[in-house]
Structure 1
Amino acid sequence: MGKPVVYGADYSVYVRIVRLVLEEKGVGYELVPVDIFAADGIPGWYFEHQPFGRIPAFEHDGFRLYETGAIARYVDEAFGGPALQPVEARPRARLNQITGLLDAYAYRTMVW
């Protein structure tokens, strides 16, 4: 398998989440800087990776993905290393619930 590519800015909490997941799994990756707040705007080529112009985007062996949760789950399931999600349905559902709550209700308070 080839080395995954993460597209985004190192200051983004969502890009950091993907990078932390890759680090925890022991997966080498390339970070391609994309600054969606640049004065010139979002680079046109980036919309091929993320149609909404958000960060991060991800590519692995020609497979493209966006949205932090989807990327994190893919990395956990596609690569060796320690499992980052519970295997059983109820604990896994609770993990997804907490993640969703933090993203929907706590992001602004915690990050801004």
Structure 2
Amino acid sequence: MTSWTHVLAVVVGAARPDGDVYAHFGSLLGFDAHLAVAEELGLVLPAPEPIADDAPEILLTDAGRAFVRQFQLTKLPAGRANYWNLRHASLTEPASTELACRWEALRARHSSIQNGAS
């Protein structure tokens, strides 16, 4: 099961000025799975080989920037994503719902492609 709040955390982290995708995680257990979902949805992508040691590892795509803007995710506070729903549900719930819808649409497309190929 995907925690949409943690997928949001990856995207919001990539949107930070320092690009720290780990900033909103208290534990990195499962981080790679959330990152993979954000990548598959086209919101982030791995950076090319870093030019500097402090260069971000993960970058927002144009779609990711649009998503952050659309849902005003830069208004989410610093700190752990686990607590965002407590005080910032007006931001996280619509964005999480949109992520779930996009994920279901992506799964449906993949399924129809596989079924059409047989």
TM-score normalised by length of structure 2: 0.29
Looking at secondary structure, tell me which structure has more strand per residue. Answer: 1
- TM-score if structure 1 supplies the norm length? 0.30
Question: Which structure has greater helix proportion?
Answer: 2
